[in-house]
Amino acid sequence: MIEVRELTKFFGAVCAVDRASLSVARGEVVGLLGPNGSGKTTLMRVLTGFFPPTSGTARIDGLDVQTHSLAVRRKVGYVPEHVVLYPELPVRRFLRFAADAKGVPRARSRAAIDAVMAACGLVEMARRPIRKLSRGYRQRVAIAQALLNDPEVLILDEPTVGLDPRQTVEVRSLIRTLAGRCTVLLSTHILPEVSMLCGRVIIIDRGRIVAEDTAARLARRVEDVARTALRVAGPREQVIAALAGVSGVDRVEAVEEGTAPGAMTELVVVSREGDGVRQAIAALVVGRGWGLVELRPIEPTLEELFVRLLGSERQGAADA
Amino acid sequence: MRNVLAVFRKELRSYFAAPLIYIVAAAFSGLCGYYFYTDLLHFITFGFGINIMENFWQLLFLDIRKFLLFCVPFITMRLFAEEKRLGTIELLFTYPLRDGEIFLGKFLAAVVAVVTLLAPTVLYPFLLNRVQPYPLLPVLTGYVGLLLLAIAFVSCGMFISALTESQVVAGVVTGGILFGLWAISWNEAALDPQSLQAMRAVSMFDHFQGFSIGVIDLRDVAYFAFTVLLFTHLTFRALEARTWRGRR
């Protein structure tokens, strides 16, 4: 559905996107993940036909964004990063403009506007000028306008940035409901968001695509050890010594001296293999008569993954 | 056509939802009304009530021309500058709209806004005609001239607005250019006859002179048509800039 080949975009001497290639299949939800200034917005603006690339090609549904710009723009719904919209227009009025501009047929336009307003929870805000809406509602209006022409591709640039936690949850669930209907490419620098919403992650840094996989597989790629968090009610030194003796355990890291009454011992156990070692640990702790308060596998977070991927990438670049 | 209409309606709504146009219209109407009164007094006391076209309408049209010069920049300054500042330009350029459709929608809305300023002054000729009948057709010529002038002003203002993100800059520069096109032929003593001739040919205001006494000169019409085409062309180039910036 989205095909990007060797796409490069310069602004003067600054290279914003550097030979990026990616492809997104129909119906996929793909996250574009990268720090601020990594080229996410530039890439999206090329895809939406806002400006052309310096070199390389981008196609949406087989149509080149440069040579078939109007046709591409008809297929794409776009939510830009900083949604300000037209402050003086009431919500419904703005959506009517968007419907007309996107060529939604007159006969269908009223129903289409009603449908997106209902989907985005805007019905009671219909007559309110956009400047009087909260940040969360403005975001919904921005998403509503993007949905108006039943887009085959939905491009969302940082859809949850600047929202409060409740609004973030609402916008995310809204995106999730759209996932079945269209192909979604969304950018974010909020890492858990990607694993929540996206089937696949494309990691971009300084204009270059550095990794591309499912969130889970990317995590496995950098994490080859299992880590287990442990809280035990028992004498600290003895617990550590006993755990180090369990077969399969590579290392036992003490988290910090517990100051709470009852002298809880908090540890992280690093082992090559996970579940078997955890069973052995549990049996050992219980067998010694200590209290097993908590035993929890530590999943590698996307933050760690991100730092490691970019770290090795930068290391590689420095070596070359 | 439908796309043009969509942009046109949105622009018109934006004009009349903000207070600026009402303030400008109030100032414009106040000034026009005051000069209608004083020019009429002048016509009666110094023109002895004869030749109403030269001794009254010409004066009033030239005054209205001045007020248009000061008021049109306020109308045109927001056209593109505001969209760029707000970031809404990104929506506009990613909707399936051609640049020409965006341009035409905005252009027509601005012309309608300026015509709204001019509309109340249409009362004057009919008011006078009730007191003392006189031929109205030459006065209509004056209005044709004002309309052409307004369209030329709008096309200039639109081009400047397409160049900047700042409405203030757009307004001031537009005002400056329009004023320059008026003042260019003021100082007759400082120019030799050939250059004065050339300056007069360029001056937007000299080309309006004929209309104000009821004369439509094809050269003047051609001048305004050329001015509008020139600024339209420049506006399109300015809008296109986004497609060649970043090329190598």
Q: How many CB atoms lie within 10 A of CB B194?
A: 8
Token duo for residue B136: 């109205």
Residue in B110, B90, B93 with CA at minimum distance from that of residue B101: B93
Q: Which residues contact A124 (CB under 8 A, 6 or more apart)?
A: none
Residue in A280, A254, A252 with CA at minimum distance from that of residue A265: A254
Q: How many CB atoms lie within 10 A of CB B71?
A: 23
- Measured between alpha carbons, how far is B150 from B154 in angstroms, rounded to an integer? 6
Token duo for residue B47: 């023109």
- Measured between alpha carbons, how far is A174 from B130 in angstroms, rounded to an integer? 66
When pLDDT is averaged across residues A191-209 and rounded to a whole number, the result is 83
- Measured between alpha carbons, how far is B133 from B32 in angstroms, rounded to an integer? 22
When pLDDT is averaged across residues A135-144 and rounded to a whole number, the result is 88
Q: Looking at per-residue confidence, does B154 or A236 come out higher?
A: B154
Partners of residue A45 in chain B, C-beta under 8 Å = 90
When pLDDT is averaged across residues A202-209 and rounded to a whole number, the result is 86
Tell whether the model's pLDDT for residue A317 goes beyond 70.
Answer: no
Contact check, Cβ <8 Å, B7/A9: no
Contact check, Cβ <8 Å, B96/A9: no
When pLDDT is averaged across residues A310-314 and rounded to a whole number, the result is 62
Q: How many CB atoms lie within 10 A of CB A271?
A: 22
DSSP-derived secondary structure letter, B213:
T
Which range in A49-58, B47-56, B220-229 is most confidently predicted, on average pLDDT? Answer: B220-229
| Chain A nearest CA to B32, separation (Å) | 30
Number of A:B CB contacts under 8 A? 85
ipTM score: 0.86
At A90, give phi and psi (nearest 5°): -70, 155
pLDDT at A220: 66
Tell me the pLDDT tens digit for each residue of A140-149.
Answer: 899 999 999 8
When pLDDT is averaged across residues A76-101 and rounded to a whole number, the result is 90
Q: Which of A11, A14, A45, A50 has the most B C-beta neighbours within 10 Å, making it the best mutation to test the interface with B?
A: A50
- Given a contact cutoff of 8 angstroms between Cβ atoms, the answer to whether B138 and B41 are in contact is no
Query: Which band of pLDDT confidence, cut at 50, 70 and 90, is reported for residue A320?
Result: very low
- Measured between alpha carbons, how far is B109 from A87 in angstroms, rounded to an integer? 18
When pLDDT is averaged across residues A190-204 and rounded to a whole number, the result is 82
pLDDT at A224: 66
Written as one string, the DSSP assignment of chain A is: -EEEEEEEEEETTEEEEEEEEEEE-TT-EEEEE--TTSSHHHHHHHHTTSS--SEEEEEETTEETTTTHHHHHHHEEEE-SS----TTSBHHHHHHHHHHHTT--HHHHHHHHHHHHHHTT-GGGTTSBGGGS-HHHHHHHHHHHHHTT--SEEEEESTTTT--HHHHHHHHHHHHHHTTTSEEEEEES-HHHHHHH-SEEEEEETTEEEEEE-HHHHHHHH--SEEEEEEEES-HHHHHHHHHTSTTEEEEEE-----STT-EEEEEEEESSSHHHHHHHHHHHHHTT-EEEEEEE-PPPHHHHHHHHHHHHHHHHHH-
Tell whether the model's pLDDT for residue A319 goes beyond 60.
Answer: no
Query: Which band of pLDDT confidence, cut at 50, 70 and 90, is reported for residue A97?
Result: very high
* Mean pLDDT estimate for chain B: 90
Residue in A211, A229, A218 with CA at minimum distance from that of residue A195: A218
pLDDT at B151: 96
Query: Which band of pLDDT confidence, cut at 50, 70 and 90, is reported for residue A176?
Result: confident
When pLDDT is averaged across residues A23-40 and rounded to a whole number, the result is 86
Q: Which residues contact B127 (CB under 8 A, 6 or more apart)?
A: none
The string over B204-216, giving b where at least 16 C-beta atoms fall within 10 Å of a residue's C-beta and e elsewhere, is bbbbbbbbbbbee
Written as one string, the DSSP assignment of B96-121 is: S--HHHHHHHHHHHHHHHHHHHHGGG
- Measured between alpha carbons, how far is B111 from A123 in angstroms, rounded to an integer? 35
Query: Which band of pLDDT confidence, cut at 50, 70 and 90, is reported for residue A233?
Result: confident
Domains of chain A and any CATH numbers: 2-221 (3.40.50.300), 224-297 (3.30.70.260)
B96 at interface of A, judged by CB pairs closer than 8 A: yes
Q: Which residues contact A265 (CB under 8 A, 6 or more apart)?
A: A230, A231, A232, A233, A234, A235, A236, A239, A240, A254, A258
Q: Which of B83, B94, B165 has the most A C-beta neighbours within 10 Å, making it the best mutation to test the interface with A?
A: B94
Task: Give the length of chain B.
Answer: 248
Tell me the pLDDT tens digit for each residue of A7-22.
Answer: 999 888 888 888 989 9
Residue in A245, A223, A233 with CA at minimum distance from that of residue A304: A223
Tell me the pLDDT tens digit for each residue of B223-234.
Answer: 999 999 999 999
Ranking A76-80, A165-169, B64-68, B174-178 by mean pLDDT, the lowest is A165-169
Q: Which of A82, A97, A145 has the most B C-beta neighbours within 10 Å, making it the best mutation to test the interface with B?
A: A97
